[in-house]
Structure 1
Amino acid sequence: MLDDFLIRAALAGIGLTLATGPLGAFVVWRRMAYFGDATSHAAILGVALAFGLGMPLYAGTLTVALAMALTVAALSGRGHAMDTVLGVLAHAALAFGLVTASFIPGLRVDLSAFLFGDILAVSRADLAVIWGGAGLVLALLLWRWQELLTATVNEELAQASGQDPGRARLILTLALAVTVAVAIKIVGALLIAALLIVPAAAARQITRSPETMALGATLVGAFSVAGGLTASLRLDTPAGPSIVAVAALVFTISLVLRRRG
């Protein structure tokens, strides 16, 4: 069954949505879209370093994504002008990644796959990494769900309950870095944040509780994967952008349904 590249692509995309659904809900609730952009852009630098140093791709990507996520989390707690700082960090990391890649023979040609994704080229080994990483993120979020939710709603309330809001930020930081690392081959560095935000934003329009929103974001993400792959096959369009385009259409429909409701 796994010899069919479309089935592997669908399994990879659905596996990824297990992480992007609930994590995307927290990204929307906490207004962390900038966080996802900076971390995903930095992933290109991780790709270049992985190829240059002979490291496994996912290891290099995860290392740089985690370093960027921790840097952003540290700066966000110190009152810096975050929009400016994040803009500098995100674009600088992307620029350095592209410049570094230009010195590595053979990588420049393949770089578009890491910018926009190449889900149709997912291998069995990639599937194992994607499902393993997504499962780890999902388990981490479920384990600390109530703590994360309380810290998201009100950090003072979380502190009064004996919880540490800083730990909640660290958990989300780690989860985001792992998600970026496993998602880069599917939708690419430029579209990872969209896959986190758009399905969650669509689910937010038609759900009434945090749990149903997280579940709804996962289902919208899975539907977007299926719809995007179908569109890519029939219209000969890039698979990663097609997935995000379908998610955007679902978001638009959710807005219309909310207004009519």
Structure 2
Amino acid sequence: MTAWLAIIAPAWIAGSILALLSAPLGCLVLWRRMAFFADALAHGTLLGVALAVWWQLPMGIGIALVNVMVVLGLVFIDDERLPVDAVLAVVAVSLLCLGLLTLTQLTDQQANVLGFLFGNLLELDWADLPLIAGSVLVGLALLIYIWPAQIKLATHEALARIQGINPTRQRLFFMGVLAGFCAIALQAVGSLLISGLLVLPALTARLWSASPKQMVIMALCIAQLGVTLGVWGSIWLDIQTGLSIVLVLASLFFTALIVSKLTTSTSILAKFWSSRR
């Protein structure tokens, strides 16, 4: 047991630290209706890694370059004739294909493709934890700084403008925090599953919460539970850690959804039968 803990503990702690940022950020993604954008940035991390390996640069620089390109590209191709969600879907799949092509054809990282796609927390050791913790603390500090303005924009953008909040600047701040999280979470769940780690805890919490504060707290608890069960489940089932974490989070969401619907249906039926008596 002690030997297993020596391997699992760094991964478990790293995942738990990431969940501290993913839960509130995921809530904000839902409130700002930017899930597709998060998906595009997540897929862009793979291209950033591929370019960094190809050009022999630090991975953070490669990911940052691609994220800046994504933001500028979206501004350039913005067209009122095209649905935003469709454009983001095209950008996401294009970035994923370019990343895979670059990684497999122009670098010697073919053997690591699955790790980049689905993550592998178990490869982390104790020496990696300070960097992850420091990055998450910076992300949380930035998120706390922009939180009031982001909530106002998500609630009523026109009123927020009247109060002097600049939507463009706040959007760029939010994109920056989101891009930073994608870079940190790449090791945990891979570029394909980052959006799942972001959205699923917040989506599950939304089913049962009555206020934004309650939703964030519930999302934090769900994210922590998903990471814990996912890390241990990946050992038990011998599968990729990222896959295991996201599957657990998805299971929690669908279970909560079914229970919520059954509870609502039972309540409706009870009211119906009581009115018939």
Task: Identify the residue that residue 126 of structure 1 maps to in structure 2.
Answer: 128
Distance 1:18 1:76 in 2: 34
Alignment of 1:11-50 (within 5 A): 11-50=13-52
Distance 1:82 1:237 in 2: 35
Task: Identify the residue that residue 111 of structure 1 maps to in structure 2.
Answer: 113
Counterpart secondary structure, 2:230:
helix
Distance 1:128 1:61 in 2: 20
Structure 2 letter corresponding to 1:151: L
Q: Cα RMSD over matched residues?
A: 2.1
TM-score by length of 1: 0.92
Decide which structure has the larger Cα Rg and report it: 2
Question: How far is the alpha carbon of 1:59 from its aligned partner?
Answer: 2.7
Structure 1 letter corresponding to 2:65: T
Distance 2:161 2:207 in 1: 30
Counterpart secondary structure, 2:201:
helix
Compared CA separation, residues 175 and 78, structure 1 to 2 (3 A) = farther
Identity of aligned residues (%): 36
Contact 1:65 1:180 in 2 (8 A): no
Distance 2:218 2:251 in 1: 15
Stretch of structure 1 that moved more, 166-175 or 145-154 = 166-175
Task: Identify the residue that residue 99 of structure 2 maps to in structure 1.
Answer: 97
Distance 2:142 2:77 in 1: 22
Task: Identify the residue that residue 57 of structure 1 maps to in structure 2.
Answer: 59
Task: Identify the residue that residue 224 of structure 1 maps to in structure 2.
Answer: 226
Stretch of structure 1 that moved more, 105-114 or 218-227 = 105-114
Alignment of 1:125-164 (within 5 A): 125-164=127-166
Task: Identify the residue that residue 256 of structure 2 maps to in structure 1.
Answer: 254
Task: Identify the residue that residue 240 of structure 1 maps to in structure 2.
Answer: 242
Distance 1:141 1:102 in 2: 35
Structure 2 letter corresponding to 1:136: V
Distance 1:69 1:6 in 2: 36
Contact 2:231 2:241 in 1 (8 A): yes
Deviations 1:50-85 (A, max 9, x none): 11111122332233234324543x358653432332
Counterpart secondary structure, 1:55:
coil
- Count of residue correspondences: 260
Contact 2:53 2:107 in 1 (8 A): no
Contact 1:62 1:180 in 2 (8 A): no
Stretch of structure 1 that moved more, 60-69 or 3-12 = 60-69
Distance 1:76 1:151 in 2: 23
> Could you list the runs of 5+ residues in structure 1 that have no partner in the other structure?
none
Task: Give 4+ residue runs of structure 1 displaced > 6 Å after superposition.
Answer: none
Question: How far is the alpha carbon of 1:141 from its aligned partner?
Answer: 1.4
> Could you list the runs of 5+ residues in structure 2 that have no partner in the other structure?
265-277
Compared CA separation, residues 217 and 77, structure 1 to 2 (3 A) = farther
The answer to whether structure 1 residue 181 and structure 2 residue 183 are counterparts is: yes
Compared CA separation, residues 70 and 178, structure 1 to 2 (3 A) = farther
Question: How far is the alpha carbon of 1:108 from its aligned partner?
Answer: 0.9
TM-score by length of 2: 0.87
Counterpart secondary structure, 1:190:
coil
Distance 1:68 1:182 in 2: 18
Stretch of structure 1 that moved more, 175-184 or 232-241 = 232-241
Question: How far is the alpha carbon of 1:47 from its aligned partner?
Answer: 0.7
Counterpart secondary structure, 2:165:
coil
Distance 2:175 2:129 in 1: 23
Question: How far is the alpha carbon of 1:133 from its aligned partner?
Answer: 2.1
Counterpart secondary structure, 1:172:
helix
